[in-house]
Amino acid sequence: MKSSTQRNLVAAAVAVALGSTAAYALPPSATYNYTLYAAGGSSQENAAYWAAEQLLQPATIDVYTTNTSGAPDTSYLIVTGTTNSAGAAALGASGNVLFFYRFTGGPLLNDLVPLSNSPSSAAGQLPYPTIASFLTATTTSNASPATNPNAPTYKFSAVLTGNNQSPDWGLSDVEVALYNYPYNLNGITALTATQLSAISQLGIYDDVWAVAVTNALYNGTVAFPHPKTNFTKQEVQGILGGGVTNWNQLFADDGTQLPSAPVWLLDRNSGSAAKVISNLYFLGYPTAIGTGGALKPGSVTAGGVNAGYTDTILNLSGGYQDVQEKTGAAIIADLQNANQAGDYAIGILNAEFAPAFNQSHGANQYSFAKIGGVGIDSGTGSDNINGNTATTYSNVVTGAYDFVYQNVFLTRAAGGFTNPGWTAAIKSVLQTESVSGAFANQKFPNALTGVLLDPDVASVPAQAGGVILWSRNGNSTSPIQLNFDATSVQNVGGNQVISYGSDPLH
């Protein structure tokens, strides 16, 4: 898969070179034969774009933003283009496509609620920009055709009243049932058993997750030259649980007590997959409920169901803050702002958001920390997710780093699709091996960061390129289970070594 963020750097350079002379691929005034609606998590925005890209002619693709400054959209992915042969087959005829993917707020409200209700009901619909407001779009400085969501070619002020639509499909980082627990809902009404059964889900690719911290903490500063690049699970538990509110409760890598400064936790909103995954991996929630070992996140009150976040915007002069962020992009913006102020902040991010792809002031502003002494890769030289050249994902592939979960593709079990052919085609391309750039013999930064293949997907051969050597077999609450056999083990220099086949990451 192409990296949308990395391609942004190229697109920006082209835009500067072309200036206002760039030709735009498909203007808003064009006739659109198909208007398509989907929704999901913010971590899947690039996957949604890539899937649509496979069904459109590249030279015809434009990306729209509802940010009137021309900056990337923080609520919707809006793509236009003309179908290629695969897209025409999916829709029944060739034509121009206007595609909306809503991602603000997370999968619970974007996917689970609408897909568990009738598409004609108010609960089964979401607000999308009106077509009338879309038609007012003007060009940005980015080059057209578009190559990724982070380089929009058109901008407009969205009107969201009057275009409520039912999404045909959605994407989530974990299975549906995990959202339906009080600490993950935080006051949002739980889905009934009937509603849960109304959603069809299918496991697809794997996403790598990470603990992201400002580089002022990760690298140290002149005033405090003691980096903290590693967190134990217990330390992250303390932060997410609200017990650690000042950095002086923790120690740097060399054992030096961190200076007194309030913890700024860049949390996610209730109903987001990142919130569910943080609770699951670090707090044992809901897996340890039966044994009494599940911990309560600090973002909920003593009542256990009401939101307890301090604000939705980081206050750079504030004390302890548990900030309720609506998207991964919002976490990144606050990491950048905090680091520019020389302050410590922490959040849980999908590894798709590699630091080098989200620079500010010409430099990385945050890094992905080790968990229990283990990073995503070796963290050295060109094998470094926190660098800008390449990563092997070696510790992910072997299971030493297991902060990884399998995404699911969601639809209504009973059908009710406006465009079933398009939905089936999107699902099909997201199941292919090429969804992982590693399978196509590409390395970061020339492939979508943080996406690997799960051996639970039957179409992917074991130990092929980009396939991890373990799985939870479609159950995020399950411990990891190794997926290899004796035929994949070779004797190298007297040692038994697992063969990785043609995996370019090793």
Supply the pLDDT for residue 128.
98
Per-run averaged pLDDT (10 residues), the chain, 506 residues: 37 36 77 97 90 95 97 95 98 97 92 94 97 98 91 97 97 95 87 95 94 98 97 97 96 98 94 94 96 92 69 91 91 96 97 90 97 96 89 88 96 90 95 77 69 80 75 93 66 61 45
Distance between CA atoms of residues 504 and 443, nearest Å: 7
Spell out the domains of the chain, with CATH numbers in brackets: 4-205 (no CATH), 207-398 (3.40.190.10)
Separation of alpha carbons 150 and 142, rounded Å: 10
Query: Among residues 22, 18, 390, 423, which one has the least CA distance to residue 202?
Result: 423
Helix, strand, coil shares, percent, the chain, to 5: 25, 20, 50
Selection from 303, 351, 391, 438 nearest residue 173 by Cα: 351
Degrees (nearest 5) of the Cα angle 375, 447, 503? 70
Q: Output the pLDDT for position 487.
A: 56
Cα–Cα distance between 249 and 258 in angstroms, integer? 7
Query: DSSP assignment of 384-435, as one string?
Result: -TTSSS----HHHHHTSS--EEEEEEEEETT---SSHHHHHHHHHHHTSGGG
Q: Which of 501, 502, 470 is nearest to 488 (CA)?
A: 501
Among residues 275, 217, 230, the alpha carbon closest in space to that of 371 is found at: 230
pLDDT of residue 301: 75
- For residue 55, the SS3 value is coil
Report the pLDDT value the prediction gives residue 496, as an integer from 0 to 100: 58
Query: For position 312, what pLDDT does the model report?
Result: 86
Contact by Cβ (8 Å): 40, 111: yes
pLDDT at 209: 96
Q: What is the pLDDT of residue 189?
A: 87
Report whether the peptide linkage leading into residue 297 is cis, meaning its omega lies within 30 degrees of zero: no
| Tokens linked to 320 | 């302890």
- Asked if 281 contacts 232 with a C-beta cutoff of 8 angstroms, the reply is no
What is the three-class DSSP state of 498?
strand
CA–CA distance, 67 with 53 (Å, rounded to integer) = 22
